[in-house]
Structure formats: structure tokens, C-alpha cells
Amino acid sequence: MGASERVAALRRARERQARIEAATSRTMKAHDSVQHAVETKRRAIERCDERVARAEALAAAETAELARICGSAEAAAEILGWSVRELRRVVKSDRERRTAAGPASRDSGN
């Protein structure tokens, strides 16, 4: 191998090494981006789940309040177009949630 062939081989090796380093950098950035997106998605789902839980709790509390004001589950169910069984299930879940949360939730509710 002549001097010019060695120089050309060295140049190709350096170019290859530069391409490897650039590809490695891009790959690592892409993987970091995926990890960041996964974490962002997890936090967004968590926030969404919390909002849904709060909305469900509010709806259950309002349903229980309607039943209380109406004086019967039957009347409240008729107003909402629900079955009495479904209305009682929602009222029971609200009662259980409030019991589990303690006295503070009753004071800060409606």
C-alpha cells in the first residue's frame, strides 16, 4: 500500500468515524425525545384522570343533592331520565366517597 492509499484509507476511516459519531448523537437525541414524550404523556394522563375523577365526584354530589331536594330517588331519577337503580348507585358512591374523605369534604362541598 502506497502513501496515497494510506492517506485515502485514513481519510475514509475518519469520515466513517464522523458519520458514526453524528448518527450516534442523533440516535441518542431521538431516544431522549421518546423518553421525554413518554413522561409528558404519563403526566398528561395523570392530570386528565384527576380532572375526570373530580368531575365524576361533582356530578355524583350534585345527583345526591338533587335526590335530597326532590325527597326521593324516584323523583330525581325521573327528572334525569335514569333508572332508580342507577341513581341510587351514584348516590351511594357519593356517600362512600364523602365518608372515605372525612368531615372536611362535607364542609367544603356544596
Q: Which residue's C-alpha cell is 332508580? A: 84
Q: State the burial class of residue 87 (Cβ atoms within 10 Å of its Cβ: 0-12, 13-18, 19+).
A: buried
Q: Which three cell numbers stand for residue 104?
A: 372536611
pLDDT value for 2 = 85
Q: Which three cell numbers stand for residue 44?
A: 398528561
Q: What is the mean pLDDT of each run of 10 residues along the chain (110 residues)?
A: 90 98 98 98 98 96 96 96 96 92 60
d(C-alpha 67, C-alpha 78), whole Å = 10
pLDDT value for 110 = 47
